[in-house]
Amino acid sequence: MVDGNSKSITLYCPLKSIACFHAQAVEVLRTLQSSDKVVGISPQAKQEQADFFLNLSELPSIGSTTAPDLETTMALHPDAAILYNTYQPAECETLQESIEKIDPSIVVLHFDCFKPEYHISDVEKLAAIMEKEDEAEEYLQFYTGLIGKINSTLESVKSDERPRVYLESSNDYSSCAKGSGYHQKIEMAGGDNIFADLATQYPAVDPEAILVKDPEIVIKLVGHTNSSIANGYSVDDSSSMQDLRDRMMSRPGWSNLTAVRNGQVYIISNEIYGGSHFFVGVSYLAKIFYPKLLPDLDPKAIHQDYITRFQGIGQDLDKHGVFVVPEVD
């Protein structure tokens, strides 16, 4: 067996107990109907995304790759531990060494589960490990069908016809450049990131540079449910996100931006832009960027289908949850 790190490993399949040091692995295991094998989770899954992971958030916290709780982890006697593959490599290497030193019988696996370029491979490999190939096939048909539809539609769009996009993270005037996951999702949706060529992946940007580059669309991300801006699965009131949008549109000089003049400023929850269901966020971006080219693309329906079919969440998104302001038809 080969994990996401292309490392050959020997293990007995299917695994019976898994310690997941990141939330994305828990999500993919639930997609594969294997979440009953998870015995320990990260603080992100337990606290920040408790309203998404529901009963799984009641499992013991084993810490994160940067701050692991090895005592709790060892007390759970897992068959395997899942760490990131390409994210936080130094921390993951240190954690792997610590786990193997304490208990060499624990198999350490490396899967990101949230990066588009590895997503299909990660799902397929985890499915093989858990002997859940049929579940993986159903999910990947859903996933590749969506991404394929977006890709085939946008093939005809010339580079100079792509909308200029300014994406801002939850920190004011913090954007993204080539090599970052945020940038990659803008590209997947057919946008032209105005700060793509900056030297660092998540640069702080000069407010004046935004005015000069004049984006046609502005995307502002807000954090999970611990954010000061209420958003996500447990929120029904969009006023907090709307207030943030109003404040952004009132920034000095922004009244002259094309995006502001045309009302193309959107606040999007990281609940759908990050993690293993990043494709939900991509579908929203594609709809925002190309409403006429993708008239039948329904991001909310895609989101609903995913959480109902693959995550076992019975929530009706027409009645509960706030993820995008203003709403995208």
Helices (H), the chain: 23-31, 43, 50-53, 70-75, 89-102, 116-130, 133-154, 181-188, 207-213, 239-249, 258-261, 270-273, 278-289, 299-309
Q: pTM above the 0.85 mark?
A: yes
Span 81-95, pLDDT tens digits:
999 998 889 999 999
Q: Which helix (H) or strand (E) holds 278?
A: helix 278-289
pLDDT at 3: 60
**Confidence band (pLDDT; 50, 70, 90) for 48?**
confident
**Confidence band (pLDDT; 50, 70, 90) for 227?**
confident
**What three-state secondary structure class fits 244?**
helix
- Residue 263 CB-density burial (10 A; 0-12 exposed, 13-18 middle, 19+ buried): exposed
The two tokens of residue 21 are 């040091």
The two beta strands, 217-222 and 164-168, are: parallel
Q: What is d(CA 111, CA 272) in angstroms, rounded to the nearest whole number?
A: 20
pLDDT at 184: 94
**Superfamily (CATH H level) for 18-138:** Nitrogenase molybdenum iron protein domain (3.40.50.1980)
Q: What is d(CA 285, CA 291) in angstroms, rounded to the nearest whole number?
A: 10
**Nearest CA among 137, 113, 106 for reference residue 44:** 113
Q: What is d(CA 96, CA 104) in angstroms, rounded to the nearest whole number?
A: 10
- Inform me whether the pLDDT recorded for 225 exceeds 60: no
- pLDDT: which is higher, 153 or 227: 153
Span 195-221, pLDDT tens digits:
999 999 999 999 999 999 999 999 999
Place of tokens 């669309």: 217
Q: What is d(CA 24, CA 178) in angstroms, rounded to the nearest whole number?
A: 22
- CATH 3.40.50.1980 residue ranges for the chain: 18-138, 158-325
- Inform me whether the pLDDT recorded for 306 exceeds 70: yes
**Contact between 62 and 84 (Cβ < 8 Å):** no
- Inform me whether the pLDDT recorded for 226 exceeds 80: no
Q: Which fold has domain 158-325?
A: Rossmann fold (3.40.50)
- pLDDT: which is higher, 105 or 223: 105
Q: Which neighbouring-strand residues pair with 81? A: 19, 108
pLDDT at 279: 97
Per-residue pLDDT, averaged over 33-59, amounts to 93
**Confidence band (pLDDT; 50, 70, 90) for 8?**
low
Cβ neighbours of residue 301 closer than 8 Å, sequence gap 6 or more:
none
pLDDT at 9: 67
- Inform me whether the pLDDT recorded for 144 exceeds 80: yes
Span 165-195, pLDDT tens digits:
999 999 999 999 998 889 999 999 999 999 9
Q: Give me the chain's average pLDDT, please.
A: 94
Q: What is d(CA 215, CA 248) in angstroms, rounded to the nearest whole number?
A: 14
**Contact between 219 and 166 (Cβ < 8 Å):** yes
- pLDDT: which is higher, 1 or 32: 32
H and E: helices and strands count for the chain: 14, 9
- Inform me whether the pLDDT recorded for 2 exceeds 70: no
